[in-house]
Amino acid sequence: MIEATNEFVNLTAENIDSEHLCCIIRTKKQHPGVEAKRQWLKERLPQGHVFRKLNAKATVFIEYAPLEKAWVPIVGDNYIYIYCLWVLGDAKGKGYGKALMEYCIEDAKANGKSGVCMLGSAKQKSWLSDQSFAKKFGFKQVECTANGYELLALSFDSTLPHFADQAKQMRIDDDQLCIYYDCQCPYVYQVLPNIQAYCEANAVEYKLIQIESLSQAKALPCVFNNFAVFYKGRFETVNLLDNKALERILKK
């Protein structure tokens, strides 16, 4: 593993309880989503999961893992999978995103990996890292789904990852609103209560399906980063939903 510099810090078993998680910046008051993610990370760090962030109170971080251990229905030998690369607010334009991506790529090379991959889309979607930024580093589309999601990869040895076969089906045998999620994203804890309240107030049948293991994640019937929505059996989005987005889906 490449050593962290003073400008950035990697979460470890020793510092994870004291370091803030910059997905959501909060005061000292505990946030249920942040604490759930902290626990999720504690279980993943021994498996090679990396959460690297600016050593400051800011939303600047990259999160990645060995593809074999990544909670996504993507298959490949000896790859790294990037879940998130975020630089927000005043931190933009200072080269932090470039530094984080370069760190990930060099980390992969130092550990003898075959490449790095990530989820993208033909048209940039919310809650996905900027694929146009990734393509500046040589990431290329290696597979796509019928509804425009892409698997982007930077290969070091010409081998390529791919979506698991069932992930390309994008359908389930259930007409209800079905939402798959895990505890990796702390924002999930903010949107789920709103979705529940909306559905109950409007007599909408729904299912919230928590993904609690690697095997469950690898077997999902759709692309997934930590959230996926189905309605009338069709896959709709990996975006977290506010009420307006939920209404648009339910009107289809």
Higher pLDDT, 233 or 146: 233
Q: Any idea which residue has 């079905």 for tokens?
A: 178
Write the CA distances from 3 to 10, 16, 38, 102, 107, integer angstroms.
9, 16, 22, 13, 9
DSSP 199-244: HHHTT--EEEEE--SHHHHHT-SS--SSEEEEETTEEEESS---HH
Rounded to the nearest integer, the mean pLDDT of the chain is 91
43 confidence band (pLDDT: 50, 70, 90): very high
State which of 6-15, 89-98, 212-221 shows the largest mean pLDDT: 212-221
Mean pLDDT of 19-46: 81
Model pTM score: 0.92
pLDDT at 2: 47
Q: Is the pLDDT of residue 5 over 60?
A: no
Mean pLDDT, rounded, for 37-55? 95
Burial (Cβ within 10 Å: 0-12, 13-18, ≥19) of residue 220: buried
Q: What is the mean pLDDT of residues 9-36?
A: 81
pLDDT band for position 220 (50/70/90)?
Answer: very high
**Six-digit token pair at 247?**
């209404």
Residue type, 90: D
Q: How many CB atoms lie within 10 A of CB 135?
A: 14
pLDDT in tens, 52-87: 999 988 889 999 999 999 999 999 999 999 999 999
Task: Check residue 189 and give its pLDDT.
Answer: 85
- Residue 138 tokens read as 């040589």
Mean pLDDT of 27-32: 66
pLDDT tier at 27, thresholds 50, 70, 90: low
Q: How confident is the model over 152-164, as pLDDT tens digits?
A: 999 999 999 999 9
Identity of residue 68: E
